[in-house]
Amino acid sequence: MQRFYDFLRRHPTGVDSFWAVVLLMVSGVGELSTADYEHRGPRVPALLVVLALATVVALRRRAPEKMLLLAAGAGVVQLLTGVGVMVADFAMLVVIYTVAAIGAPWARRFALVGGLVAAPLAQLRWPAADTGAFGNSLYAALMMVPFALAWVMGDSVRTRRAYFAEVEERATRLEKEREAQAKVAVAAERARIARELHDVVAHNVSVMVVQADGAAYVLDTAPEQAKQALETISGTGRQALAEMRRLLGVLRTGEHEEAGEYVPQPDVQQIDELVEQVRDAGVTVDFKIEGTPRPLPSGVELTAYRIVQEALTNTRKHGGPNAGASVRIVYFDDGLGLLVEDDGKGAPQELYQDGGADGAGHGLIGMRERVGMVGGTLDAGPRPGGGFRISALLPLKPAH
């Protein structure tokens, strides 16, 4: 049965044609069997009117405006030739409903006015006997009601269809917007993970290289120091693997809730451990905290840690063998201040000016992106008299 209903919905003109044939048969038989021709009017015009109104029913949804004009023409022929009211006139109600539902604006207005005028004109052309002027007027007013109801029902259907179409369009638009936002979120997440991977690899590998060089240098003269350096390399390697496993796990699954086996994201409290790790690598670091430490938003915590990590990594990479560094963390009422300076020879200028033409300086680019994501400011460049300086201010309120 459902297939039958679907078939009917897919072939509306066929359904209308079926009812047009039924209307044609009922009206045609009625006209042909009528004996009172003076009252009913001429037979040929009546049959032509029936045929025209049946065509109106058959093609009402395929060409509603044209069928409205055809129905109006059939009504005019009825008035001029004296063909009385017949069963086929029901097609006028049908076409008024159809035009009000799917027709053009001008056709809807024409259908409303024509429907309201049809009943009074029919009553004037064929007045009821022995009812008087008041009775004829009342009857004409009652006959206007079906035409008005047909138009109102069609207009209601049109309004409801327009509403549903707007809802579907809005849902489609929202779905596209969600897909676009999802793509943007994926791109942002991949960029974040890329920055995380860079920070992990650059920092930990640089520590391992420094420790390996030191171990090789003192292997024969100070075996204990070489052993300690190798232990530092081992611990640093395990830490790097743990963080890379966490990040790659996010790439594989995309599910943060399954990250319980991975290490948590670093925060400001772990900067002390980071400084100790750098000191163990042979770099002198002066570390101070000013203000009252307190919990910060996770984005600010991670950004602060990564900035200090990248700054100290740059000190080891570009500061020279005897470079020292200082790290200052200042807790303000509305933000967190970071200042990392070293007294080394500093990085080449192309590394801190937009990443350089050769694409180098990804660490500083990553720092600028991180700070921008939390609405902060970053200043990086050489110090007067030598060395390098990185200053950042991270607000505690999210950027708008």
Q: What is the pLDDT of residues 213-238, one digit of tens each?
A: 777 777 777 777 777 778 777 777 77
Q: Which two tokens stand for residue 339?
A: 């200042």
Describe the strand order of the beta sheet including 335-342 as a list of residue ranges. Answer: 284-290, 324-331, 335-342, 388-395, 377-382
Is residue 260 very low, low, confident or very high in pLDDT (cuts 50, 70, 90)? very low
Is residue 362 very low, low, confident or very high in pLDDT (cuts 50, 70, 90)? low
Distance, CA of 288 to CA of 337 (rounded, Å): 12
Name the least confident of 167-176, 272-281, 351-360: 351-360
Q: Which two tokens stand for residue 187?
A: 């791109």
Is residue 349 very low, low, confident or very high in pLDDT (cuts 50, 70, 90)? low
- CATH 3.30.565.10 at 267-400, yes or no: yes
Distance, CA of 39 to CA of 20 (rounded, Å): 26
Q: Which two tokens stand for residue 279?
A: 């000191």
Stronger pLDDT, 391 or 319, i.e. the higher one: 391
Tell me if 294 sits within 8 A of 331, measured CB to CB. Answer: yes
Q: Which two tokens stand for residue 172?
A: 């489609």
What's the rounded mean pLDDT across residues 143-155?
Answer: 92
Give pLDDT tens digits for 36-78: 444 445 577 888 888 999 999 999 999 999 999 999 999 999 8
Tell me if 207 sits within 8 A of 236, measured CB to CB. Answer: yes
- Residues spanned by CATH 3.30.565.10 within the chain? 267-400
Distance, CA of 217 to CA of 222 (rounded, Å): 9
Distance, CA of 112 to CA of 106 (rounded, Å): 10
Name the least confident of 25-34, 150-159, 169-178, 343-352: 343-352
